[in-house]
Structure 1
C-alpha cells in the first residue's frame, strides 16, 4: 500500500486499520509528503502504524516489495498524488513506491490507484488513461451518499469498502445497496 502527499490520508489510514482487523498482512510505503499530510490531517505519525503494518522507507529500493519474487495480492495507493501517478504512468521507478507499483504492473497483480485531486487537467487524464490501459484500476476518492452518512468516518469506510471489494476481500464495513439493515 502506498500513501502520498495528496489530501485524503484518512482513506489510507482507514484502509490500513481495516486490513489489520481482517488479518491481512500489509506493507506500507509513504512518500515524504505522504507522511507529513498523514500527520497533519489525521494526527498520526508513520511509526504509529507499525502495530498495523510493515512500514518501508520510500528510499529503500532493496525492500522486499521492490521485487516481483515477493508475492503480493496487489497494491493500493491511497491517496495518490498526481506527481506519483505521473511518475508511475511514465515508468519512473526511482523510489520504492514507484518501483513497487511497476513490479505490481509487470506481474499483472491487482493495482488500484485512488487519486485525490480536483479538477483534473489534460495531462492528469492522459496519465490515468495510460495506467487504465495497462490494467490499473483508477478509483477516484468519490464516496457515495446512498447509505446516508452522518459522520466523516462513514465516508472513509465507503471508499475503503469499495477498495476491499476490488481486491476481492470480504468485509462488513457498510450495508450494500439493496440490503436491509
Structure 2
C-alpha cells in the first residue's frame, strides 16, 4: 500500500470530494469502483457541485450519495473526516475546482471538503486533486505548485488516447483507474502500456 495505507483501518477507507468544477462523472465513477472493490467511502459535495451536477449530468446528488458508504454535509465541520485521528488511505477530489485548489493551497478552508483535504495533507496521506480548468493563468499554476510542494498530487483528467477508447465511458474508466493506482488499488480499468511494437518485429 502507498503512503498513508499503514495508518488505515482493516477495511480501506477513502474520502471522496466532489467540487463545483465540470466533470462530476469522475467522482461518480470513483464511488462506483471503490464500492465494487469493498473500499469504504466518505463523500463530501460542495454546494457548487450540486449546481453543476444539475446543469450537466444525467444523475443527481442523491444518486451519488447512494453510492457512498457515508455522506457528510460540506457544512459539517465536526464530521469524522475533519479530524486527523480518522484513519484513511487519503482523499480524492474529483473533480477539483480552482476555488477548492486555492483554498487547499493557502490552508484557508471554508467547508468540510477543503478541511478534509487539509487534514489529509497534515497527516501526510495521499491527496489527489483532479483539477478541471483550462487554460491556466499564473495564479492557478502557483496554487498547483503550492499543493504539490505540500504533498498533494495534481491530476487533471486528461484522456489517454493511446488506450484507444471506444467512447467517453472508457476514457473516464482509464483515468479513474490511473488515479486509484496512486493508492495501490488495482481496478483493472487502465490500459497498461507495454511498449511500441514495430511492424518488422
TM-score band by shorter chain is over 0.9
Aligned residues: 179
Shift of residue 51, structure 1, vs aligned partner: 3.0
Aligned to 1:116: 132
8 A Cα contact 2:174 2:191, kept in partner: no
1:9 aligns with 2:61: no
Q: 5+ unaligned residues in a row in structure 2: which ranges?
A: 1-15, 196-201
Which of 89, 108, 120 aligns to 1:92? It is 108
Greater Rg over alpha carbons, structure: 2
Q: Deviations over 1:58-116 (max 9, x none)?
A: 00001100011111100010111101100110111220011111110000001100100
Asked if 1:63 is matched to 2:79, the reply is yes
**1:137 maps onto 2:153 in alignment:** yes
**Corresponding residue SS for 2:129:** strand
Deviation at 1:143, TM superposition (A): 1.4
Query: Is 2:45 aligned against 1:30?
Result: yes
SS in 2 for 1:62: coil
Normalising to structure 2: TM-score of the pair?
0.86
C-alpha displacement at 1:20, in angstroms? 0.6
Q: What's the secondary structure of 2:141's corresponding residue?
A: helix
Q: 2:59 aligns with which of 25, 39, 44?
A: 44
Structure 1-normalised TM-score?
0.95
Matched residue SS, 1:85: helix
Partner of 2:123: 107
